[in-house]
Amino acid sequence: MLRGLYDWVMRLSGSPRAIYALFGIAFAESSFFPVPPDVMLAPMVLATPSRTWRYAFVCTAGSIIGGMLGYAIGFTLTDVARTLLSLAGMPGAEAALRAGFARWGAGIILLQGLLPIPYKLVTITTGLAHFTFWKFVLASCVTRSARFFGVSALVKRFGPALLPVIERRLAAAAAVTAVLAVVVYFGVRFIAART
Give the per-residue pLDDT at 161: 67
- Distance, in Å, from the CA atom of 63 to the CA atom of 89, rounded to the nearest integer, reads 22
Give the per-residue pLDDT at 116: 62
Give the per-residue pLDDT at 65: 97
Quick one: DSSP state of residue 132?
-
- Distance, in Å, from the CA atom of 138 to the CA atom of 168, rounded to the nearest integer, reads 35
Collect all residues with Cβ–Cβ distance below 8 Å to 122 and sequence separation of at least 6: 67, 70, 109, 112, 113
Give the per-residue pLDDT at 174: 47
- Structural domain that includes position 178: 2-194
Amino acid at the residue 119: Y
Collect all residues with Cβ–Cβ distance below 8 Å to 157 and sequence separation of at least 6: none
User: What does the pLDDT profile of the chain (195 residues) look like in tens digits?
Assistant: 456 656 666 677 677 788 998 999 999 988 877 678 887 888 888 878 889 999 999 999 999 999 999 999 999 998 888 887 777 667 766 777 777 777 777 777 777 666 666 788 888 888 988 888 998 999 899 889 988 998 888 888 877 666 566 555 544 554 554 454 445 545 555 555 565
15: left (phi over 0), alpha (psi -120 to 50) or beta: beta
Give the per-residue pLDDT at 58: 96
Within 10 angstroms of residue 114's Cβ, the number of other Cβ atoms is 14
Q: Specify the number of domains making up the chain.
A: 1
Give the up-direction half-sphere exposure of residue 108: CA atoms within 13 A in the CB hemisphere: 29
- Distance, in Å, from the CA atom of 131 to the CA atom of 144, rounded to the nearest integer, reads 18
Task: Confirm if 12 and 18 have CB atoms less than 8 A apart.
Answer: yes
